[in-house]
């Protein structure tokens, strides 16, 4: 399994995304992913499925120490007391303590970054998580976060796929020694219809999703967390280690964002002033 390292964290390069998965579908999906070989699972308090994610992890029977588990604190819970209570609740629902990574899910629009980062530091110092990081932070917010933190921030989890150029933000993450976690890596299916990606998939005898996931994996410091509720997609999305894209193929996919700029996750109530509009 390919692993990305940052500030002492060793994070499997493919994670199983669980947004929009609930009930039995979630528990079964997590268990199936772990059976296939995924060793990284991404959830959040806001997904309201942590109990089912924990259930899936236990059902798979993979030793806990082999699994990298991320959860997140919702933007409405970033005041210190609510923040700490949110993480304690996550650990209880998951029935896993500690987790590997706790992220601030979206930056607060009202509480200063220095305050939310101070609480995030406490979460690590309390022993509730091995690592901490952020999500949906811009270059400016990252700089503020690093100025305020005592503990290293290992990743910034942000939207990234062939239709969304994130060069500036990615460079800022690497400048801070962080890795970059790509969420909605399939552009919620939008990029899978792209003619260039479809043609590449045909040429290489792969699915469009495999082409896009492979494109992520061949980029420096990049983790990708595709979500699926479909057992065949869960399996094939992980079957990406026996082929590669050459420089021309990588460049053709990267060039798509020049003509197809598109953001799929942009909730106005929480979205910051993006580096890439």
Ligand X SMILES: NC(=O)c1ccc[n+]([C@@H]2O[C@H](COP(=O)([O-])OP(=O)(O)OC[C@H]3O[C@@H](n4cnc5c(N)ncnc54)[C@H](OP(=O)(O)O)[C@@H]3O)[C@@H](O)[C@H]2O)c1
Binding site for ligand X (CB under 6 A): 17-19, 42, 105, 135-136, 157, 183-189, 192, 207, 209, 225-230, 233, 236-237, 265
Q: Specify the residue, 176 or 227, whose C-beta has the smaller distance to ligand X.
A: 227
Compare residues 91 and 191 and give the one whose CB is closer to ligand X.
191
Q: Identify which of residues 26 and 91 has a Cβ nearer to ligand X in the complex.
A: 26
Q: Look up tokens 């039995």; give the residue.
A: 24
- Identify the residue whose tokens are 């998939």: 201
Q: How far is the CB of 81 from ligand X (least distance, A)?
A: 23
Q: For ligand X, which is the closer residue by CB, 127 or 210?
A: 210
Report CA torsion sign: 21, 23, 29, 34. Answer: positive
**Which residues on adjacent β-strands are paired with residue 3?**
12
Of the candidates 182, 233, 239, the residue with the CA atom closest to the CA atom of residue 11 = 182
Minimum CB–partner distance for residue 181 and ligand X (Å): 8
Is residue 47 flagged as an active site residue?
yes
The Cα–Cα gap between 164 and 39 comes to 26
**Token pair belonging to 107:** 């930056």
CB-based burial, 213-240: b 16+ in 10 Å, e otherwise: bbbbbbeebbbbbbbbeeeebbebbbeb
SS3 207: coil
Q: Which is nearer to ligand X, 23 or 125 (CB)?
A: 23
* CA contacts within 13 A on the Cβ side of 233: 16
- For ligand X, the closer of residues 140 and 188 by Cβ is 188
Residue 77 is given by DSSP the state G
CB of 26 to ligand X, least distance (A): 10
In angstroms, give the least distance from the CB of 214 to ligand X. 12
**How far, CA to CA in Å, does 195 sit from each of 163, 191, 255?**
13, 9, 13
The least distance separating ligand X from the CB of residue 264, rounded to whole angstroms, comes to 7
- The SS3 call for residue 72 is strand
> What letter does residue 109 receive in the DSSP assignment?
S
Closest separation in Å from C-beta 88 to ligand X: 21
- The residue at minimum Cβ distance from ligand X is 17
Given the residues 38, 47, 160, 163, select the one marked as catalytic: 47
Q: At what angle do helices 195-204 and 208-217 cross, to 10 degrees?
A: 90
Residues annotated catalytic, as ranges: 47
């Amino acid at each position: 399994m390919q692993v990305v390292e940052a500030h002492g964290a060793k994070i499997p390069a493919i994670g199983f995304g669980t947004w929009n998965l609930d009930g039995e579908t979630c528990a079964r999906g997590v268990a199936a992913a772990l059976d296939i070989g995924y060793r990284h699972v991404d959830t959040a308090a806001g997904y309201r499925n942590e109990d089912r994610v924990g259930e899936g992890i236990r059902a798979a029977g993979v030793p806990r120490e082999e699994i990298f588990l991320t959860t997140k604190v919702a933007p409405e819970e970033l005041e210190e007391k609510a923040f700490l209570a949110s993480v304690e609740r996550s650990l209880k629902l998951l029935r896993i303590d500690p987790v590997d990574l706790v992220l601030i899910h979206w930056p607060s629009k009202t509480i200063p970054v220095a305050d939310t980062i101070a609480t995030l530091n406490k979460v690590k110092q309390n022993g509730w998580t091995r690592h901490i990081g952020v999500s949906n932070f811009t270059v400016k917010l990252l700089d503020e976060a690093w100025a305020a933190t005592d503990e290293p921030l290992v990743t910034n989890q942000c939207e990234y796929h062939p239709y969304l150029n994130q060069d500036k933000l990615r460079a800022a993450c690497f400048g801070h020694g962080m890795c970059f976690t790509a969420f909605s890596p399939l552009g919620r299916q939008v990029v899978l219809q792209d003619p260039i990606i479809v043609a590449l998939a045909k040429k290489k005898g792969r699915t469009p999703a495999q082409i896009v996931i492979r494109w992520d994996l061949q980029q420096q410091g990049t983790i990708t967390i595709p979500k699926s509720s479909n057992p065949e997609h869960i399996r094939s999305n992980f079957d990406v280690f026996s082929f590669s894209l050459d420089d021309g193929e990588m460049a053709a996919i990267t060039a798509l964002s020049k003509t197809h700029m598109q953001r799929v996750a942009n909730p106005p109530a929480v979205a910051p002033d993006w580096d890439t509009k």
